[in-house]
Chain A
Amino acid sequence: MTKTSLSILAFASMLLSSTAYAAPVEVTLWHMEQPPHRVARVQELIDAFNASHPEIVVKQEPQSWGEVYAKVPAALAAGAGPDMLFAIPDFAPILKKTGALTSVADFVAELDKKHKFIPSTVQSYSYDGGVWAIPLYNMSMNLWYRKSDLEKAGLKVPATWEEWEAAAKALSQGGAYGVGVPANKQLYTDQTVYSLMVNGGATEIYNEDGTLRFDNPETVGAFEFYTKLNKLSPPDSTSWTWGEAEACFVSKSCGMIMQFSVISTYDTQGGGEPSDLGVAAIPTEEAGAEANTIAYANAVMLLSKDDAKTKASQEFIAWLLEPENYGKFLNMEPGLFMPVTEDGAKAETFWNDPMVEKYKSQIETVIANSKNGRLFGFTSGRTFPSIAAISAQNLIAETLQDIVVAGTDAKGAVAQGQARMVEASK
């Protein structure tokens, strides 16, 4: 081989190696924010990140909550899983159990120094000596109503269960339903029922030792009251998910509903004047008691075992939590996703969104309500893996269906519910 050809080969190999070195790291994000406008907003952010970080390429693949519990373990087993995956607290233990997760405690601590996480949002993912996901946004359940409806009926905003039932009865007129609460065997029903349980003294479903304490008089009381509300709800509430409840409220068929947020639907589907939209904390059983609610700290889990991909994923998440980007991210659904960091709660990008400006007072109330957020199975500072199966099987909602559909009394249904939870925990 001549010197010239050797030189050409050496130069070509240098070129090849430098090309390989410069190849961007590709990371895939799976999230469950499927509505097209949310996908578009996530894409906007990804495009901005990719443009400012030429060494990384982030791609999104929207998934459905209905399928993701089954899809992710299968995809990971086949080696085709995502590098980043959005999560709610009860989803993380499933993946942790399969060995797919590594603790992100150090990364979360680093982000916390800079942005100050709301402690409860990190707590939902902190157990077994690690932190298993990075909190991204918060969602909390609220009571939505029209101020004019209550004024017309001479009612004040219900703060107790008694006032709530009275208001629901008063608003049940002219073919409208005073309240709309779901009774489907589905996650939305789990959320609304638990929102009553936490306001009726039934926050904990586990004892200290991990045994179940779902079957107790407070839980029975919450189910009894929920059943009263359901009787004042539309008859098809047994098949409702979030969308049907919002449709019922926006079409004025329901006087009040429990929902994370109705702002987007209310605003875009002709729900009424922004100033007429009322939001309050979920009423409590006892007058003067502190109002609680269910709150979901949504987070992102890192699944890649490749160091370069993990670093690229961390880079993207750190960028996303910067206040100048974070507000845009939260406002993919204005009024629904609340900040989990202190600087995020003050971010101009969050408060300057036109929809947020229009519904500022409602959003402030939602943020205030979310501070007393609880999530079943994640309330005592310890997390028991069986909560994943209890949540995935919607056993709280199934207990309600036993009462509302099958006609079982609340005491018997709650006892059956606990038995199912014990079976699911095995």
Chain B
Amino acid sequence: MNKDRKEGIKGMANPGRYGIERVAYWLMRITGLGLLFYFIGHIYETSNLLDGKAAWNSMLELTQTTEGHIFLTLVIGMCVFHTGNGIRLMITQSGFGLGRPRRPDYPYTPSSLNMKNKLCIYVSIGLAALAMMYGLGVMYDV
């Protein structure tokens, strides 16, 4: 048992128990890492342009598959959620949209975890889902 009894990554990565804001924190991390790895892959993938048309087309054969489209759909979803939730965080972390400090009274509902915040998280998730559906439609020419 470690001396500080830190929960460790298990505690950081657990999205449950504490409400939608904790889920949003967890999703923000997952999508951020996912987008970074996609970005690195995308930079490498597009560098195939310099090797000529044959190299580019063989790269496309790898990525323009069903699996590739599903992966790209996930990337679209991650990007939209990360952007939407990121904008919410930038606004709230500057001190806006949190309510005002006031004398606390039972049942001690936290003002910062208000409906506006929760709505923004749900809207980000909803927009991500819509974007994924739209992206799938574009990729399959629907």
A and B are interacting partners: no
Residues of B at the A interface (CB closer than 8 Å) are: none
